[in-house]
Amino acid sequence: MKEQKLRIPYGSGGLETILPAQARVYTSRIDELPQRGDEDAIVREAMKNPIGSEPLWKLARGKKNAVVIVSDHTRPVPSRHILPFMLEELRRENPEIGITLLVATGCHRGTTPEELEAKLGRDIAQRERIVVHDCEIPESNVDIGVLPSGAHLIVDKAAAEADLLVAEGFIEPHFFAGYSGGRKSVLPGICDRVTVHGNHCAAFIDSPFARTGILEGNPIHRDMEAAARMAGLAYIVNVVIDEEKRVVAAFAGDALEAHAAGCTFLAPYCTLEVEEADIILTSNGGAPLDQNLYQAVKGMTAAEAAAAPGAILILCAECLDGTGGESFYRALAGCASPSALLEEIRKIPMDKTVADQWQYQILARVLEKHRVILVTRPELKETVAAMKMEYAASPGEALERALAAKGKDARIAVIPNGVSVVVKRR
């Protein structure tokens, strides 16, 4: 076997590295997806043939107003290939309908006007009425009921008061909800922090079913679906994107049925059967998903799923926005050990869940069993160390350090894009 040259996604570009001869590279089959025409045509075709629903233009008949939930700056949803057609159908037989684009920030920071323009295009960003959801303002959110878990469902008033609630989105593996898209536009997308915290509680995150690619038996997914129904999410347009973030498939119609169809379609293309490894190298998929350490936990879980006991995990993430959350940083930096932090978290009841708890719970779970080397910007070296990880300047440096610890013949698995795959151990 010979050494291999590979480009790992990182920021808006990538990092070149030379892999040892024994390294096995695992990539999804996402680029094998059968593309049925250009991106706009794919979306239009899906909207002409909605799943479990009437077409959007029929749903809009007689409605005074509609709210379209759109993704925020942290999601690579190709809105420019979805929103124009949703807006067109909403107005097709109801040109006077009032339309609000509600940006689903969940508990993230607010999306800026510049980010909205970059995401939606100048025409839509300047012409349409846009509201950025804020999970922190009680008066802008309203309690509409109780979820199966017992948590209160508190959603943005704009959505609760809409005659018609619809959403765009995209479907990819998600590290604790199973898959993104569909019902996630409502929970966590447009919910009050209280509801998000309940859904992301310690007991749910600890469930063995709250993992990438798992929907059946997943308590987080169950409450998300209930939230979508209770909020009246009537219709979605969700897409599947390839490694270049181009639309390759689309699913429109009923919020639950269309989403389920999309997940079923995607699963065989994104599932990897990986041999257990001593060293796993992966990334968070590049921008925008590797914008901070908080998001980078997602890629770590892909490496975790392929790891032998005591394996070393290497993650490449640019983290232009730093940690992504002060409480997230403080939890890891301030704990005696990942094990001690996990023990503390597991005692926290649902109604006492705090900001970012779920993210540092998952990171602590990974760190309890594995040494993690983070390839990122040198400015974050001290931050990375404080959070119980190791800094490396390049994938090559990280691999060299890992091989020194595990031996030159260590089993190496490389998963170039850790957030786009479902890893199953062979």
Torsion of CA 299, 233, 59, 172, to 10 degrees: 10
Written as one letter, the residue type at 296 is: A
Three-class SS of the chain:
CCCEEEEEEECCEEEEEEECCCCEECCCCHHHCCCCCCHHHHHHHHHHCCECCCCHHHHCCCCCEEEEEEECCCCCCCHHHCHHHHHHHHHHCCCCCEEEEEEECCCCCCCCHHHHHHHHCHHHHHHCEEEECCCCCHHHEEEEEECCCCCEEEEEHHHHCCCEEEEEEECCEECCCEECCHHHHCCCCCECHHHHHHHCCHHHHHCCCCCCCCCCCCHHHHHHHHHHHHHCEEEEEEEEECCCCCEEEEEEECHHHHHHHHHHHHHHHHEEEECCEEEEEEECCCCCCCCCHHHHHHHHHHHHHHEEEEEEEEEECCCCCCCCCHHHHHHHHHCCCHHHHHHHHCCCCHHHCCCCHHHHHHHHHHHHHCEEEEECCHHHHHHHHHCCCEEECCHHHHHHHHHHHHCCCCCEEEECCCCCCEEEEC
Out of 73, 108, 259, 370, the active site residue is 108
Q: Is 174 a catalytic residue?
A: yes
Among residues 73, 81, 174, 197, which one is catalytic? Answer: 174
Residues labelled as active-site residues: 108, 174
